[in-house]
Amino acid sequence: MLVVAVGGSPSARSRSGVLLEQASQGLQARGVEVATFQVREFDPVDLLHARFNSASVLQWQDAVERADGLIVSTPVYKASFSGALKTLLDLLPERALEHKVVLPLATGGSIAHMLAVDYALKPVLAALKAQEVLHGIFADDSQIAYGQGSAAPQLADVLVQRLESALDTFSSALARRPRPVAPGVLNDRLLRSHFSI
Ligand SMILES: Cc1cc2nc3c(=O)[nH]c(=O)nc-3n(C[C@H](O)[C@H](O)[C@H](O)COP(=O)(O)O)c2cc1C
């Protein structure tokens, strides 16, 4: 089982990145392989000029194609998801999320914008034909505290509980995901099947 985790913050010190990392570790503890992509690690020229054929963009497209599911984590910017994340999602081919389950995560400065995932990100995921988009997690900035020096960031207990519950739901959704059957295999199964009335 492969999950692609994508971080949409341009900032290196990133609360949505902390949430994504916590989710990735939780999935790995459940036996899921996770491949992580951060939008800030792409060449900005590739993103702004929509270079579909650059090596890193091809690698991103390939990982998404092979993935069973995605975790998409974004900061709320101007009541929406980050524009940087949009440039990366724009580089995916049509129907790129077909047969895939998606768990959205977001962090924001105000709970007034906690629905940004629902009204801004989910329509984009639906346009990419995601099979199932789960209820996301929104954390406000006060729920993720940076530690002093090199100390690990601390997540509020209530956030950890919500994330664990979302990861349980996500791994169940991954497990029951119907696998597409290759046309040749389907044809073979039909030929071998026996009907009785
Ligand atoms: C340019 C910019 C715009 C923002 N716009 C909003 C906003 O509209 N609503 C909100 O709740 N928070 C907003 N914030 C706060 C961030 O969403 C919040 O601090 C978030 O946790 C940052 O995530 P990051 O650390 O992963 O980049 C904004 C922050 C920046 C830098």
Residue 147: what pLDDT? Answer: 85
Mean confidence (pLDDT) of the chain: 94
- The dihedrals phi and psi of 13, each to the nearest 5 degrees, come to -90, 105
Model confidence at 177, pLDDT cuts 50, 70, 90, reads confident
* Ligand 1 neighbour 105 (Cβ under 6 A): no
Nearest-angstrom CA–CA distance, 47 and 188: 43
Q: What is the pLDDT of residues 47-77, one digit of tens each?
A: 999 999 999 999 999 999 999 999 999 999 9
Q: Residue 60: CB partners within 8 Å, gap ≥ 6?
A: 37, 42, 88, 91, 92
Q: Which domains does the chain have, with CATH numbers?
A: 2-195 (3.40.50.360)
* Ligand 1 neighbour 109 (Cβ under 6 A): yes
Nearest to 101 by CA among 28, 182, 1, 24: 1
* Partner residues linked to 70 by β-bridges: 4, 102
Residue 84: what pLDDT? Answer: 98
For ligand 1, atom 5: residue with the closest CA: 77
Residue 195: what pLDDT? Answer: 61
Which residue from 77, 81, 141, 146 has its CB within 8 A of the most atoms of ligand 1, so it is best to mutate?
A: 77
* Ligand 1 neighbour 73 (Cβ under 6 A): no
Distance 146 CA to ligand 1 centre (A): 16
For ligand 1, atom 23: residue with the closest CA: 75
* Ligand 1 neighbour 14 (Cβ under 6 A): yes
Is the pTM for the entire model greater than 0.75? yes
For ligand 1, atom 18: residue with the closest CA: 108
Nearest-angstrom CA–CA distance, 108 and 114: 7
Compute the average pLDDT of residues 136-151. Answer: 93
Q: What is the pLDDT of residues 72-97, one digit of tens each?
A: 999 999 999 999 999 999 999 999 99
Judge whether residue 181 has pLDDT over 80.
no
Q: What is the pLDDT of residues 1-23, one digit of tens each?
A: 999 999 999 999 999 999 999 99
Nearest-angstrom CA–CA distance, 21 and 44: 23
Residue 188: what pLDDT? Answer: 82
CB atoms within 10 A of CB 32: 19
For ligand 1, atom 16: residue with the closest CA: 108
Angle at 85 between CA 83 and CA 89, to 5 degrees: 115
For ligand 1, atom 15: residue with the closest CA: 109
Residue 182: what pLDDT? Answer: 75
Count Cα atoms within 13 angstroms, Cβ side, for 82.
Answer: 24
CB atoms within 10 A of CB 53: 8
